[in-house]
Chains A and B, each alone.
Chain A
Amino acid sequence: MSELTHLTLAQARDRLVKGETSAVELTRAHIAQVEAKRHLNAFITETPERALAEAEASDARRRQGTAGAMEGLPIGIKDLFCTEGVRTTAASKILDGFVPPYESTVSGNLKTAGAISLGKLNLDEFAMGSSNKTSAFGPAINPWTRRSDPAAKLVPGGSSGGSAAAVAARMVLGATGTDTGGSIRQPAAFCGITGIKPTYGRCSRYGIVAFASSLDQAGPMARTVRDCAIMLGAMAGFDPKDSTSVNLKVPDFEAALTGDIRGLKVGIPREYRPDGLSAEISEVWEKGIAWLKEAGAEPVEINLPHTKYALPTYYIVAPAEASSNLARYDGLRFGQRVPGKSLDEMYAKSRAAGFGPEVRRRILIGTYVLSAGYYDAYYAKAQKVRRLIAEDFRKAFETVDVILTPTAPSPAFGLDENTDDPVTMWLNDVFTIPTSLAGLPGLSLPAGLSSDGLPLGLQLIGRPFDEETVFKVAGVMESAAGFDVSPEGV
């Protein structure tokens, strides 16, 4: 293990700027770590040769004085982003052999900023899952283990589980994630790293394999708040190729980390304290509130009355959109085809063979809730409740500047747990989904360890396009938490 892999993204950047290391050196060190931690199955596709070639080009650019904001920094790309000339799978068999002839805007932006991609990271199939267990390439493994049972493998969370595991295991300085209902924040919490889902429209969705278009949003995952701020700055921006991308100037997120949160009002939603919330989660939340108070912010109890309807709303809206978004995987123009006597038989066989059980289940539910006679009762109803949920937040933000909640109701669970019932699995996202439905920015940062030695995350939620306040508050909490532990063996 190299000392270089223990730098944060910001530290590595600063060393590169000072000429104390090179992109090639950094890349070599991280490639070695990727190889050393291969048992975590964080990568679906490793691209070391490409990365080294890019690193050399990056060092050349730096010598010419044309370094970008992410120049020479090794990162990983969630395998949901299409990457030109590099196999893209969405962790599904149905995309077998698919090599995109185009690059997603976000991964392209990172490239333009000088970042070096080490490859494509594991995820739940089509980003549908909270454990990474639905990946057709086998689950990524959480580098963290329980003190009580170090041998038991734990999930890294999902869907951006490979991204979280790779960042936590120091294989990359940062990684892209996507978040539809918590897919950046929940794995960040499970793996003891920081991740932010920005406001819907902040990052372009062009070239990202779609799950639920009205919810999907890309964001960075890294080890510190500053790292996320740097990386989001490089990822974000208006894209005329995405009609839902917002034409706003990207602020200097790093500059928002002033450390001064005096007078800020922090909302503490009553509804996020359900009966049966684990004591450990409650405690870490209380600690977070205390840190903010000490720093001069003012906690304010708020109500988000429709919170408990967020999960059912999400599990109508997201599968409905997914059922339509995934119709293009038909074995005709790309991916896997299973022959059939007729066109319909070819479709049905290809899709049955290509999609795993969770994806199939969601397509079926989505198909059902949109079908004639059920649309109003399910889909239209959910879209109405969604407005009520968004309204709850809008009202809350009339009085508070940011909202603090736990990220997930539990720490990382075992690879063999929570397998019986899909609905139980979905409860993982109970604190992250409302934010997604409302399109708001949400950041998760590690706030402490459970009694069994597992990271616990807290979530900060901001006003639309006010990631700066979220980063500012997160920076203060990060300092207060002093979370400087690494997983065993890293």
Chain B
Amino acid sequence: MHSLAALTPLGGPLPKTEKIGTLTISEITNCALASVTLRRGKDQAFAVAAETLFATALPAPGVWQQAGVYGLIWMGPDQWFIEAPFASHEDIAQILKAGLGDSASVTEQTDGWVRFDVQGARVVDLLERLCPAPSRRMQTGAATRTLLEHMGCLVICRETAQHFSLLAPRSYAKSLAHALTAAARSIG
């Protein structure tokens, strides 16, 4: 048997947290992630299966919502990202596929992305330096895919003007961490 050490996207054995001024930037690794895409012509079967699985309808454009253990995030027309605690849902793709059957295509995404959570009263000041999305107007429940310092990112508002999650492709981890910490230092 191999005995391989799991590394975080930033390359350390444990996720990093950095405090800069009043802002906290944390690498988050306790989340499993999968994408769910509606298959053509399966709208009705998909709506029923999704409602059974999540006990709610999937969110509208630009919106995410928590449904039990699942975070449901709108990604694009007929596509959603589903997040859940890694400890209980490491095999999230299989769990979702079992629930949705052939009405949707499910793809494992967990290790494809790096997630940073930025918290603090000046989080909007930070995002406005990096990102064209209107972070000051984003309320709890808003989620949108946009650019952040030229990197394609998913911006999720967990709490209005206080707490945002930023997801970027995993290979951008160090670049995104650099952009976030540099911007945080410029705010002071």
Task: Answer yes or no: are A and B bound together in one complex.
Answer: no
Residues of B near any A CB (own CB < 8 A)? none
Residues of A near any B CB (own CB < 8 A)? none
